[in-house]
Amino acid sequence: MDSTDIDFMRVALERAAAAQASGEVPVGAVLVREAAVIATGANCPISCNDPTAHAEIAALRAGGRALGSYRLTDTTLYVTLEPCLMCASAIVHARVRRLVFGAWDPRAGAAGSIVDVFALPQLNHRVDVFGGVLMEECASLLRQFFSERRGGGGGGSCHEG
C-alpha cells in the first residue's frame, strides 16, 4: 500500500458517502489510469431499480465510455468494499490490471472471503488484488449505515461519472 492507493481510496470513500446520502448502501469506486481518475461509481441499485448497479459496475461502465472501449487495460479499480461475485467477474472481463479494496465482505466477497474469483486458473486474465486499504474507515461507514438504516430504502439518481 502506498500513498497513491490511500489517496484514491479516499476518493472512493467520497463516492460511498454520496451513495449513503441517497439512501444506498455506502460503496464507492474509482477507476484510474496513469494516476488520473477515468471514472467513478457509487452504489445505486435502489434508486436505479437495477440489481446490477453496484459501484464497481457503474465505474466500469463510465470508464468504458470515457476510454471508448470495453477493455479497461492498464487501469486500477479502487472500491471501498470487497467485490461480490458479479463485480469480480466484470472486473476480470474488463481486463482491469489491478484491484484495490477497503473492507472485506465475509457475506458476499469474491476476492477471498467466500470465493476468490481472481485465483481461478481457468480464467484468461489475471488481476493484481490488494485488500484492506483504509479498511477501518470503509468498514465503519458500512457499520454506521446498517446500524442506522436497517431495512430502509432510499431514492436518488444513478451515481456514475
Task: Identify the active-site residue in 14, 24, 56, 148.
Answer: 56
SS3 137: helix
56 labelled catalytic: yes
Q: Which grid cell is 27?
A: 460503496
As given in the structure block, the three cell numbers for residue 9 are 481510496
Closest CA to 37 of 76, 72, 65, 69: 76
5 contacts 78 by C-beta, under 8 angstroms: yes
If you ran DSSP here, which 8-state letter would residue 110 be given? T
By annotation, the residues acting in catalysis are 56
